[in-house]
Structure 1
Amino acid sequence: MSQHPFRIEICVEGVDGLVAAQQAGADRVELCASLIEGGLTPSLGVVREALRVATIPFHVIVRPRGGDFLYSPLEFASMLEDIEALRDLGVAGVVIGCLTAAGEIDEGRTKALVDAARPMRVTCHRAFDMTRDFAAAIETLVRAGVDRVLTSGQRDTAIEGLDILRATADAAAGRIVVMACGGLDVGNIAQVRRDSGADELHFAALATHKSAMAFRNPHVGMGGTAIEREYELTVTDGAAVAATIAAARAG
């Protein structure tokens, strides 16, 4: 039996995604930019608008770039600056993750980010899933004062990672909230809730919509992407969020 209240968090890109998730019954949102890269820090303008319209808490990812979680000194300094700005705006929480080259949680940097964030809540994102030893990583996060860890059980999906998810929840022993993620949908979320031992669940319910642009330049693709991608939008599917939440709570 979990020692923590059950919550469902939806990962969204931008303010429209936040509104869709809260209307569909989410308990909390993780607010990101660029989910195509796994989520990057959104702009302060996005955060301010989110604060204006939010009716549920949201946590903001602090990730300066895609790729690995081994950051340069300047990148880490930018993370501290972002956290201080988010704290001053009154955001409820931040989502972070820093690793060493050896595949361990960077305890010093993590502790510095936690200290800078307070009184905000702090979640470690799936950088945790890239560590060499999940049990050792849990101990490091607890020592650093992190409140929550997001994990798919060090596999691509929570279903594949169920054994490690259960072991992670056992290692956490109520000292840190374990939030399971990874391919959760209507068909599997009840099983993951039942069998993982996780305290909370996290998913993104995304759909691709065609752009409303009437004029389309067939000769340019921004940032090296396929031209078709310039005229597609990835959005949070409110109906899928609601259905998946219902399946989790029914199960």
Structure 2
Amino acid sequence: MPQTWLITGSSRGLGRALAEAVLEAGHNLVATARAPEQLADLARHFPDTMVAVALDVTDAQAAKQAVALAVERFGTLDILVNNAGYGDLAPIEDASLESFRRQIETNLFGTIIVTKAALPLFRERRSGRFIQISSIGGRAGAIGRGPYSAAKFGVEGFSEVLAQEVRPFGLHVTIVEPGGFRTDFAGASTLIEDGHPDYAETVGAVAARQRAYDGNQPGDPAKAAQAILTLAALPAPPLRLVLGSDAFDRAAALDQARIDELHQWRALSRSTDF
């Protein structure tokens, strides 16, 4: 049975791949982007099942209008994918406060704003799914991406709380943590700065790898889109899903290291009780 999806950041990258997969699977789609004209080709191919709309995810009123449009055009909204986001690369010391604010506004507040726009509808219907596109950088701090990781860690905490609050209503929340996928995230969408020479061994080295990495990422966006379609059909989806072998390996190593560290310092941790 066709469902109605709303995907933010649909014009390129993973959002575009997912938009194409959703439409090809026969679903309805409200595809949002800052520049919806970039979706004109999809709108021509799927005139009855797709509507493209301009959306700045930091605009709460516009987010509510996008949700209302889904209901007006297709009668309902079933799945919200908070995908819009970006991440620049620079040392924390060199990244301006304005850069921090912009990235946190888009990646974190954008997710909060669009989630809150859809939440009353989902709660009233006792049906709906939130798919929050985070990053492996929201699970493991990424050198050079302080603002981005700060925002994505926030998305994860926000979404964990959301999942617990809406579970009694039959709603589902899944945090998706992609690794490196062959999109323009590491290219045109990212400002890469080496920063102060003192950071050459850390941020500078990551910046060099990132430039070489662009176009050579292991992840296939089309396969990621199919994985998300599979996720959206699960009756009991996971709270978290990593995407990509690189993300899986990093998450597994990090989680084990955290467990080991937790137990190493167990005595000191437990010594603070009355």
With structure 1 as the length reference, what TM-score do the two structures score? Answer: 0.37
Q: Which has the larger radius of gyration?
A: 2
Which of the two has greater helix per residue?
2
Which of the two has greater strand per residue?
1
